[in-house]
Chain A
Amino acid sequence: MEGIVATNKKDQIKPKRRFVNVTLPRDYSIGFRFVSFLIVALLLCGVGVGLLVASTSRNYLRQQSLQNNLNQATLAASYASNYIAAIEAHVKVFATRPDIVQAILNGTASQLQPTLTSFIQLQTSLNGVGITNPNGILLTNSTAGSTTIGQSYAGNDWFQEVVSTKQPYLSLPKLAQINNIPIETYAVPILDDHGQIIAILSAGISLKELSNAIVNIGYNTTTQAVLIDTRGSGLIIANKNPALLLTPVAGDNQAINQVLAGGNGSLVTTGSNGKQDLTGFAAVTGLPWGILVITPSSSAYSILNSLMQRASIYVVLIVLLSVILGVLLVLSVTRPLNRLIADTKIIGSGNLDIKLETNRKDEVGALSRAFNDMTNNLKTIMVSRDELAAEVSDRKQAEEKLRETNEYLENLFNYANAPIIVWNNQFTIVRFNHAFEVLTGRAAGDVVGKSIDILFPPSQKETSMDLIRATTTGERWDTAEISILRQDGSLRTVLWNSASVLASDGKTRVATIAQGQDITVRIQSLKSLKESEERYRTLFESAIDGILIADLATRQFKYANPSICEMLGYTQEELTRMGVMDIHPPESIEDNLAKFGALARGELKMVTVPCLRKDRTIIFANISAVKAIIDGKECNIGFFDDVTERRLVAQEREKIAKELAEKNTELERFTYTVSHDLKSPLVTVKTFLGYLKHDIAAADPLLIEKDMLFMNSAADKMGKLLEELLEMSRVGRIANLPVNVTFNELIEDTLGNTAGRIEEKGVKVRLHKEPVTLFGDRTRLVEIWQNLVENAVKFMGDQPAPQIDIGVEQRENGTVFFVRDNGIGIEPKYQAKLFNLFEKLNPKMEGTGMGLAIAKRIVELYQGKIWVESKGLGEGTCFFFTLPGALKDKKKGV
């Protein structure tokens, strides 16, 4: 509320705003009179200065304009002079050209027309040229087929002048018939060697170009430039207004007279319209010409005039602004005074709660503050009388309260659980509570009045007293650790905080109160905790097992020991930023998590899982885990044992064992077959020998022959078996030096070796040639194909169009060779047995069942595999095999 501060009494009637009922006193007009005087003075001053500036500016502008016009006139005169001089020079030189002179002397001047035409084409300011004879008859001109040839020009001023003076002459101006532009003819005599006139060359100079250049002179649009031929009374030959061309110069002011007289200068003249002009003028050197440059004075002063107009507007605006500011000034002084008058009237009526507005910084503000002080003093006297009585009763109550508080504090002090002690400025113990008695084992009565240092162990007395002394400077302890010596000689570690006890003045320190907290037990447990932590840290850091501690909820690692870092190739910092999901190969993570689950449920004590190292290699670790609460979180402590190498060794061992078992099986089969298959023909021979004996005795020729046949066949079979067994035993050892041999060469060898049987059965062999080179024992390699081809021929059955395909396929995992036939085929259930030693599917077939076993053995020597594919009986058979060993090593070949 502006200007009023309401008092705290609620029943106070708010004073009315004083604008309403206060009227301005009449003598306010003093301010306005002062303002009016100021404005008049300002106006007079402005007008005076304005007039002075205007007059000076006008003079200056006139001088500038005159000088300017004179400069322009001089410049234009110089330009005109040079312009005409250049043309005259060209015409003069032309008139002395030997071909022109010679043509005139020869009487062939009429043939000069092309010469004249080409001349004026070069001189753009010439209208035309013509040659007249000394009698004024036109002989030729620059116009082809001109009609004026033969006419007389004897009456023209230029003809008469040239004939009489024998000098070049510039004629009076006249208007050209073609474009109404003034021309002046320049005539030159053509002389023979004796100086006699033989003809006159006349050239019409068009003033158009010159006129354009001159009339555009002028520094503003109102300035006019006029070119005058000064002969006679002067004729205008260049002017902006074409109507004025070739008219006499109007008026007879001084400037024109001076121009006609060939003078240069500038003048203020009065034009034909009676207005003032500022004129500059100049004569054209070497020619009867003069130039006038005229600017109407009104245009020269136009800048000044507009300036004056604007200045007048500013003056009016300034006056208006001054009036407004004056009024505001008057109001700002009179208003607060009027308010003050109104407020003092209210105070005068007895209302002391009115506060005057005192925040003004001027004299009115000071006056208001003085009034306020007065009313306040008046009020204080009134109030103090009423309060005295109330104060007396309040103090009585306070004393009672203080007594109660003291009692309460005393109890608090004595029976507090914390030991509390008070000492004075001389470090003498003043108070000592029950808890302190318990802490020290001393009775309060024994220590009060004694120096405080009796409480400290001798070795720490000095440092403890330093801390005590520090409190006299007003220092407060928040937590000071000071040990206390008990009566029984043991030490207690106590944590203290202290505060000063001040006298009633609130400043003087009379004693210090300190409260302690016995932390002996806590420190001991902290110490043992630290030791145990140290123990476990050493275990953790130096463990051979990798240890990772992971938060169960987030699966993020919290700690990693050096062993796990080495195992996984990460630093500790890296691992603590990673989680369980980051250290296992993504493809096995699901399986791993399932195993960890079993570990967590206690179903497994240990799991073996793959782990992903930083370098992306995979190691295998045996992991066991225990749960623990670490840093308040449920965590898993995982122990990692790198078993990668052990696994590799185990795998290798397994592989070797498997190979060994395979060899064993093969060996068993071998001995078995040898014992069976070799013995079998022996049984036959021996038995039929017995029959033979009987049959010979019985003289039964049919039976004798039969017996012999059986024996023969058995002996053959045995021979063949032995032969192939020998062959088989050779396969294991590579007898020949390995060489580079192409697939095609191997097939050639094969077909050469089997040609007889192939031909016999009429088998068609199709060879799919491939540019494959192998490196190995050529003879052995050939045996593979040979056995397969023989096998195919053997099992062709009654196929009417037997056929064998031999070729190579490039498959994803390497080169695969194949031998395919369209023979009887093999039932799927026998395909596995096919490559076994002495295995025969058909007992009636010749052979021992070793061919495929030998092929298999050779293939295996080159780390290859052999397998058969057949859809069944009658479907044909295809043998496939690989020879990585022979393909891999081929580069070593020579």
Chain B
Amino acid sequence: MIQKKKKSTFFNLAVAIVLLLVFLMLSFSNQKVKNLFFSLTEAPKSAILNVGDFFSSGFKIVFSLKDIIKENSELKEKNRDLIQKTIKLEDIKKENDLLRSQLSLKDRSEFNLLETKIISFDPNNLSDFVTINRGEADGVRKDMPVILPGNILLGKVFDVYPNYAKVMLITDNNNKVNVKSFFQKEEDRKNYSGVLNGYFGKSLFMDFIEKRTLVFQGDMIVTSGLDGTYPANLIVGYVDIIEDKDDAVFKQAYLTPSFLPISSNLAFVILDY
């Protein structure tokens, strides 16, 4: 019995020592080890993600058929509005191009984008990260903004490995973004701005909204570009719940992020803007 106990203590001690040594070793080559494991597991993860997407999209279609019909008619209406707007904007663009050429200003067009794929998600609920299959070798650097197709803000690069990078999503509590409202139709009310960060359950919390401004449910929120990390006018989300307490200095709002649900694994790193 005593011998058995001694054996068990010895085993525990051996495990602890091995663990300590492994940690010490890994802390020196953390980046390389992680990069190696990401490359080893990229194929099975991509396969699982693709199979999962296939099934989930199938289920979604069956269960949301009623919503799809409703959404379709709403989109048709929106499309009509957008066609009108496009015609107007086309004229403004022509005028703007002409003025820019007269003033010899540089073209302020699109961003310099790097196409990438989301290969995995952070395996815990307390932090919101995704891994992308582009890294230092592709020119990805820390704090570079990452977007989804349609200029939808996903987050910023948090950690860079030789061939992979970790992206901190905007729904993470540690990610702060300077934002402003964007009215899709011409409105009498004043634009408002604020600072947002991630909130419980994959939503967003917007703070420091000027008290006298009018905030409505469904308002589109975009980046303001003031923080220096994200370029202006990237779509962030839509106002869901508004909080206007009498004793508070600012208004607050809870937002539904636009990037959710992540249906495609395609993303872009903004290398330059």
To the question of whether A and B form a pair in one complex, the answer is no
